[in-house]
Amino acid sequence: MSYSSKLDVDNGSLLKDSLEDNEGNILMLTNLPTDILLHIFAICGQDWWPAIAQVCHRFYAILGPDSFLWEQIAKQLLFVNQSSSIFQLKIHTYLSAQLRFRVHKHWERGVCLVKPIASIREKHVLPWLVLNSDVLWVGTGNHIRAYPRVPAAAFHHNKSFSGRVKPKLNLSGSRGDMGRFVVKDDGEDVVVAGDTNGSVFVWKASTGRLQFKETNCHSSDVASVKLFKNVIVSGGRDKFAKVFRFDNSNSVLNHSWKNQCAIEEIYLDDRILSLDIDPSGTLFCTGTAGHGGVPPSHLFDLATGALICPLRDNFRDGEGVYDVHFESPNELLTGDFNSALRLWDLRTQSNVSVWDDPHDSAINCIATDNNMTILTGTAAHGGVRLWDKRQTRCVQLYFVKPELRSPVYCLDFDSSELYVALDSSVLGFDFSGGIRKPIKDLVVYPCN
C-alpha cells in the first residue's frame, strides 16, 4: 500500500493536513493498532508518557496513571512496589503507578522534604520506632509516643516543613528506658514493650491505658519483645528468652490480660539482642551477641519453645546479630555486627544470599517492603544502605545528617516516606514531591 501526503502552504508556513491511502481513507496516529503504538511510546520514553496521555481518550487508556503499562514498570521498581499485604499496612497514601515511577526517581536522586518528628534529649538511650499507616510510634527513654502521620500532599510546597508533629498519645509506666517494642493495631490494638529494669508492659494502642505489667521478669535489660495473638516473646541481656502464653478466653482479641497462663524460659548462654516471630506464628528467631561459642542465631518452635536449629555454625567470636526480620514464613533476614546482611531459606535452613556493607559498618536495623527492597541502618555517619534482592551488591548509599556522625538505631519506610531514628532526633523524609533538588540533610551516593 502506498501513501500520499497532502501539504498546504499558507503564508509561508508548511502545514501537514493528513495522510490518505489509495482508497482515500484518512490515516491518523490514533487509529494505529495498539502494538504499534506501544513501540512508538517506548521510543518516546517514560518521561513523555504523561504528556502523550493527554492527547486523546485512547492514549489515556494506554498511558493513564493506573494503566497496565505503568503497572508493569512500577512492579519492577524499588521502594514503590505495593504488592505485599504486610507492606500495605504501613502505606499512608496510595500512589498510582505513574506517580510511583516519579517517586522512585526522587528516591534515586535524594529529592525530598525533611519532617522533624521528635528531639531526643535523653543521653545513652536507644531509640526505636514502629511505622503504621496512620501513626508513627517512637520510643525514647521511658516513654513511647504516637505521632499522627500527615498526608504527603501537605508537603508538596517548595519549602521545608516547619515545626514538629505533636504526639497524640504518650505511653509511660516504666522507671527504666524502653527497648525495642512492637505495635499491633490491626484488630489487636496493643503496644508491647520491655525496659532496662527487666519488666514487660502491655498498653492499649487506641487509648494508651496500661493493660498488663510483669515486673522483674528478666534480671537485666529487655532488649526486644514480639507479639503474636495471645503469645508474647521477650529476649533479655540476662541470656533468657521468655514466652508469655495467655488464655485464649483472655487473649489479645478480647483486650484482657488479667489471667496469665504460663511463662516458659529458654536459656541461650549469651546476651539476646533481637528477636522476631514469623508472620504465620509458627517460628521465632533470636539474635545473640555471638560470644562464648554460642551461634548468633537460633530458630525455635513458637508453640512448644523447642529449639529447631542454630542458623550458623562457622562464625568468629563477637559476630553478633543486631536485628532479625522475617520476610515470610520461609525467609529470614539477619543483620550482623561484622557488616553482613544475610538471607536464610528456612525450608532448607541454609544461607542463600550474603550482602556485605561497602564500608564494613555494623548493621543495626533492617526494614523491607517484603518484596525486593531492603534498607539497613548502620553504626556510623547516619548511614543507610539500599539493597536489591535481585543484585549482589549495594545499590545506593544514604547518609542522614552526616555531620552528626550518629548511628542509625532504627528506620522504616513506605512508598513515599522514610523515617530514621538517630541519637539526637527522629526525622522523616517525604519523597512524594515538593522541591526539585537534593537536600543537605540526606546525602545520596549511587554504588557503581
Alpha-carbon 155 to chain mean position: 21
pLDDT, tens digit, 9 for 90 and up, residues 302-356: 999 999 999 988 888 889 999 999 999 999 999 999 899 999 999 999 999 999 9
**Confidence band (pLDDT; 50, 70, 90) for 7?**
very low
Considering 120-134, 206-220, 269-283, the range whose residues carry the highest mean pLDDT is: 269-283
pLDDT, tens digit, 9 for 90 and up, residues 239-285: 999 999 887 654 444 545 666 667 899 999 999 999 999 999 999 99
**Confidence band (pLDDT; 50, 70, 90) for 368?**
very high
pLDDT at 15: 33
Q: Contact 239/267 with Cβ under 8 angstroms? A: yes
CA torsion angle 392 395 397 400 (round to 10):
-110
- Is 127 buried (19+), middle (13-18) or exposed (0-12) by CB count in 10 A? buried
Assign 27 to helix, strand or coil. Answer: strand
pLDDT, tens digit, 9 for 90 and up, residues 156-166: 444 445 556 78
pLDDT at 218: 93
Mean pLDDT of the 135-153 span: 88
pLDDT at 152: 67
Mean pLDDT of the 57-79 span: 88
Instruction: Write phi, then psi, for 274 (nearest 5 degrees).
Output: -160, 160
pLDDT, tens digit, 9 for 90 and up, residues 101-120: 999 999 999 988 888 999 98
pLDDT at 83: 85
Provide the grid cell at 10. 499558507
With cell 529447631, the residue in question is 308
pLDDT at 158: 46
Residues paired with 146 in a beta bridge: 137, 169
DSSP string, 252-317: GGGT--SSEEEEEEEE-SS-EEEEEE-TTSSEEEEEE---TT--SEEEEETTT--EEEES-SS--T
